[in-house]
Amino acid sequence: MNIPKDLGALNGCRKSSSEGFINLNKKLYEKYSSKYAIKSNIIKKYKIDTPTTKISDVLFLNNHTIHRSGKNSSKYFRFTMLIRFHDLSDKYYLPFSTKTIYNSYEINNIKKLGFNINDLR
């Protein structure tokens, strides 16, 4: 079964990994996941693809590929799993120089469920 497009299939800019590391502007939202903004003049250089995937498919991307989730306009919740592999010899690899910023709304909801979040701080 193909993943329906209205479930928010992945969009990616073909061959955009050639850009290498791109400085991103992070936008924080109170009730939503954070988003990273890439300047439109960079995105306009590339063809945007939406690969057709089926349930249980695996999709491999270079970590410099410009990508985003499509809009989920269905009535269903989308589940995905992300595993990252970093090439330590990559000139753009940034060991220990990045910090994850968690959405405060999500953290508060996790706390209400009784989960220990000490490792998130």
User: Please, what is the average pLDDT of the chain?
Assistant: 79
Answer yes or no: is 120 within a domain: no
| Phi and psi torsions of 104, nearest 5° | -65, -35
**What gap in Å lies between CA 15 and CA 119, rounded to an integer?**
36
Answer yes or no: is 21 within a domain: yes
Dihedral of CA atoms 51, 53, 56, 60 in degrees, nearest 10, equals -10
pLDDT tens digits, 85-102: 777 777 666 665 555 666
pLDDT for residue 57: 87
For the chain, how many structural domains are there in total?
1
Other residues' Cβ atoms within 10 Å of the Cβ of residue 61? 13
| Phi and psi torsions of 5, nearest 5° | -60, -30
Collapsed DSSP state (helix, strand, coil) of residue 3 = coil
Q: Poorest-confidence range of 11-15, 18-22, 34-38, 90-94?
A: 90-94
State the sign of the Cα–Cα–Cα–Cα dihedral 77, 78, 81, 87.
Answer: negative
pLDDT tens digits, 34-75: 777 888 899 999 999 988 888 888 888 887 889 888 888 888
Answer yes or no: is 88 within a domain: yes
Tell me if the pTM is above 0.85.
no
pLDDT for residue 102: 67
pLDDT for residue 58: 87
Answer yes or no: is 121 within a domain: no
| Domain that includes residue 104, residue range | 1-115
